[in-house]
Amino acid sequence: MQPWPRTEEEALAVQDALRSRVVVEDGPALPATVAGLDIAYSADDSRLAAAVVVLNTADLSVADTAVVRGVPAFPYVPGLFAFREVPALLDALDRLTVRPEVLICDGHGLAHPRRFGLAAHLGVLTDLPSFGVGKTRLVGDWEPVGAERGARSALVDAGETVGAVLRTQTGVKPVFVSVGHRIGLDRACALTLRLAPRFRLPETTRVADRACRDHLS
DNA sequence: GCGACAG
DNA sequence: ATCTTGTCGC
């Protein structure tokens, strides 16, 4: 990556320059491999471990894992979250042996104030299909989601649908799915459901979460 | 001025 | 994100 932004103004300028590169076309309906990306931080926030885990979509078995240690590349600022995690995640992606067909990020894609959250950012930089599955909202409003697994409600911000609030398990809080790059919302939701046969979060996120925590000492 | 605010 | 005991529920 080029000189990394060091101020909020510089980061906003980068987002402005990159967001036009988001490609809105549908991606693979049944990718053979999917990657989960996540980062764990040390208690004092000075160190981090970034993990990328590639799963075989067919049986959710682990095909490859890469974990790297590093430092946050930017302070945590809502809306500029990607600048904190992208460098470490790209490092981890570079160490993979198996090329994932889709990236699934911990955070949002287009469900972002400027429509360029972490999932969109990583998608553009890697040019891989990507989307985000967040645990809480950043922007948008939605109507109550049906109680059954699979039920979804449009996540709307400033009049436009920026994602979906999806119930992955009956009786648990829904997750926030939003497109990042080269994949549509319907396929992102369908994939999320396939990857979450038993728990609230997709296995990609769960396995990556465990991997990066283990590498933080 | 008062909230809201991915991880 | 992370700090953390107990507790309610299946």
Please check whether strand B approaches the CB of A162 to within 7 Å.
no
Could you count the other beta carbons within 10 Å of the beta carbon of residue A217?
7
Our measurement of CA A6 to C1' B4, in angstroms, reads 24
**Residue closest to A114 by CA, chosen among A76, A86, A78:** A78
Distance CA A63, CA A61 (A): 6
Profile chain A (217 residues) by mean pLDDT over runs of 10 residues: 89 97 92 98 94 97 97 96 98 98 98 98 98 96 94 96 96 95 98 95 96 90
* Residue A2 counted as domain residue: no
pLDDT at A47: 96
Could you count the other beta carbons within 10 Å of the beta carbon of residue A17?
9
- CATH code for the domain of A58: 3.30.2170.10
* Residue A127 counted as domain residue: yes
Our measurement of CA A77 to C1' B1, in angstroms, reads 22
What is the extent of the structural domain holding A30? 8-214
pLDDT at A29: 87
* Residue A166 counted as domain residue: yes
From residue A91, give the alpha-carbon distance in Å to each of A94, A107, A169, A190, A212: 5, 18, 33, 29, 13
Look up the protein residue whose alpha carbon has the minimum distance to the C1' of B5. Answer: A78
Q: Nucleic chain C: which protein residues 33-72 of A have CB below 7 A from it? A: 39-43, 45
Please check whether strand B approaches the CB of A78 to within 7 Å.
yes
Domain count of chain A? 1
Q: Which nucleotide is nearest to A41 (CA to C1')?
A: C1
* Residue A191 counted as domain residue: yes
Please check whether strand C approaches the CB of A170 to within 7 Å.
no
* Residue A21 counted as domain residue: yes
* Residue A22 counted as domain residue: yes
Q: Is A16 annotated as a binding residue?
A: no
Pairing, β A152-157 against β A62-70? unpaired
pLDDT at A206: 95
* Residue A158 counted as domain residue: yes
Look up the protein residue whose alpha carbon has the minimum distance to the C1' of C3. Answer: A43
pLDDT at A3: 84
Q: Is A44 annotated as a binding residue?
A: no
pLDDT at A143: 94
Side chain identity, residue A141? D
Please check whether strand B approaches the CB of A14 to within 7 Å.
no
